[in-house]
Amino acid sequence: MADDDLPVVSFGSLMTEGTTLSRRGQHDKALGCFNDALKLRAGDKHCLITRSRCFLKLGDTENSLKDAEASLEIDNTFYEGLYQKAEALYAMGDFEFALVFYHRGRRLRPDLHKFQLGINKAEEAIINCIGNLMQSSTRQGVKVVDLVLGGISYLKQRRDFWQQQKPMYARLYERKVLRQGRARDKRQKPSDIARAIAKEVEDIELMLARGSAEESCRKAERLLKKIQAWSEDEVPNKNELIGNLHSRIGDAQLAMGQMEAALRSHKMDLDCARQNTLTDAVSRALDNIGHVYARTGKFQQAINTWEEKIPLAQSSLEKAWLFHEIGRCYLELDKAEVAQDYGQKSLQSAEEEGDVEWQLHATVLVAQAQVKLKDYRSAILNFERALEKARLVPSESAQNGIIAALDNVSKSFIAELNKGHEDGMISSREDRLFSSESIKTTTDNVEEEEKEN
């Protein structure tokens, strides 16, 4: 066979073959395909995540975690990377850090149910671990739970006592500790300080992930004051850290329902990012500000903020969810035509990325906008396309929701067709194809097929 006749092995063909093998349970063979694909396109984040899933199915949690972390080094907002890292950590039994990354993913993609499921299972695993420990007893027969509760009670009593008394020697001791702490901070190398700050930021995120938003906020505010007092020599990325902490404080305030405070914090993050020309931070802040506006029903302000973010979107996937969110806001404002346009933009970006989930969300948005525009024929076709994508994801809740929507829009369309018949308006072949009888048959077939599935 001549060289020209040899089959061309491309990145896409290797990915397709590997995915097919993995679905069949042939994970070892699939791994070989993903390894070869990464030789052709080193550092491709989607291939890294697919290989990470493969490693996890083979029980190789360490390599699964490495691939997930490698994808996040390329794009730290890559939600699939966050989810896969959380899954790998969960499989390793590191439930608390898994919880952190499930929460990070949910903040980026609150629409994806899998992050909430991850949070639920991680929290349940943590409670089970603590519960099993608490039921054990010491050699003297005292339950650990009683010791822990007793210790907490004692410490609380002593704390209240010292807060009331606060003698002179205690205040002098506090001042001495503070002076020693400052001197120790000055002796620390910048690299040590950076590691210590990174650890504190991780703790702040962990507190928020556990549901301790108030504690997370307080710790972030303390760290912010500490960093603001340091010089650029001690903390080279000082401005970036300040903006990041404003963002963390805003996240915690949002979780506590303090919307105005959250908005102020995210705006401070935005000001800091703009003053220091930090493009990624500007994008992050605009994203968060838009979410606060949307949560408070200020849809036009959310649109204005997110439209400002569009030029900063770094991938088709980011554009897909951004266009979708803007479209949803326009739909809430009863501007269905613009919502439909943004839904189609979202769908195009999702197709470029090859992301079926966002294709599903975008198609549903387009269909919902068409219902508002009373373009029932197009809405039915798009709901049917969305149903196919929901089966691919797969998502049972999405399928049920789409079937209900199909039923409603079909009834509206049948009523319109019947009215058209009465007025003598229905005559074209296309309209006959969408007759009331054919729509009813289609809807019944869909429901029947869902029952069989």
> Could you read off the pLDDT of 167-198 as tens digits, one per residue?
443 344 444 444 544 554 455 566 677 778 87
Distance CA 292, CA 274 (A): 19
- Lowest mean pLDDT, pick from 97-106, 133-142, 245-254, 345-354: 133-142
More confident residue, 130 or 343: 343
- Residues paired with residue 137 on neighbouring β-strands, in sequence order: 143
- Lowest mean pLDDT, pick from 19-33, 200-214, 343-357: 200-214
Same fold: 3-95+106-132 with 193-309:
yes
- Lowest mean pLDDT, pick from 79-83, 300-304, 313-317: 313-317
Model confidence at 448: pLDDT above 70: no
Q: What is the pLDDT of residue 151?
A: 53
Mean pLDDT of the 305-329 span: 90
Distance CA 232, CA 35 (A): 43
Q: What is the pLDDT of residue 140?
A: 55
Model confidence at 276: pLDDT above 70: yes
> Could you read off the pLDDT of 402-442 as tens digits, one per residue?
898 888 888 888 887 777 666 555 444 444 444 444 444 44
Query: pLDDT-derived band of residue 153, with 50, 70 and 90 as boundaries?
Result: low
Q: What is the pLDDT of residue 155?
A: 45
Q: What is the pLDDT of residue 362?
A: 94
Distance CA 426, CA 393 (A): 38
**Architecture of the CATH domain 3-95+106-132:** Alpha Horseshoe (1.25)
Mean pLDDT of the 65-77 span: 89
Mean pLDDT of the 132-137 span: 58
- Lowest mean pLDDT, pick from 36-50, 321-335, 415-429: 415-429
More confident residue, 119 or 137: 119
Tell me the C-alpha to C-alpha distance, in Å, between residue 381 and each of 10, 43, 266, 331: 34, 38, 41, 19
Mean pLDDT of the 260-266 span: 94
Query: pLDDT-derived band of residue 395, with 50, 70 and 90 as boundaries?
Result: confident
Name the most confidently modeled range: 132-146, 308-322, 410-424. 308-322
Domains in the chain: boundaries = 3-95+106-132, 193-309
Model confidence at 320: pLDDT above 60: yes
DSSP state of 395: -
Query: pLDDT-derived band of residue 150, with 50, 70 and 90 as boundaries?
Result: low
Model confidence at 143: pLDDT above 80: no
- Lowest mean pLDDT, pick from 63-67, 234-238, 278-282: 234-238
Q: What is the pLDDT of residue 77?
A: 81
> Could you read off the pLDDT of 336-369 as tens digits, one per residue?
999 999 999 999 998 887 778 889 999 999 999 9
pTM of this prediction exceeds 0.85: no
Instruction: Find how far residue 93's CA is from the centre of its chain.
Output: 22
> Could you read off the pLDDT of 213-244 as tens digits, one per residue?
888 899 999 999 988 888 877 777 888 889 98
Tell me the C-alpha to C-alpha distance, in Å, between residue 401 and each of 2, 111, 375, 387, 452: 55, 14, 19, 9, 17
Q: What is the pLDDT of residue 249?
A: 93
Omega within 30 of 0 (cis) for the link into 394? yes
Q: What is the pLDDT of residue 444?
A: 54
Q: Quick one: 193-309 is in which CATH superfamily?
A: Tetratricopeptide repeat domain (1.25.40.10)
> CB–CB of 79/109 below 8 Å?
yes
DSSP state of 230: S
Residue 166's region, left for phi above 0, alpha for psi from -120 to 50, else beta, is: left
Q: What is the pLDDT of residue 69?
A: 92
Model confidence at 1: pLDDT above 80: no
Q: What is the pLDDT of residue 424?
A: 55
3-state secondary structure of 64: helix
Mean pLDDT (the chain, rounded): 79
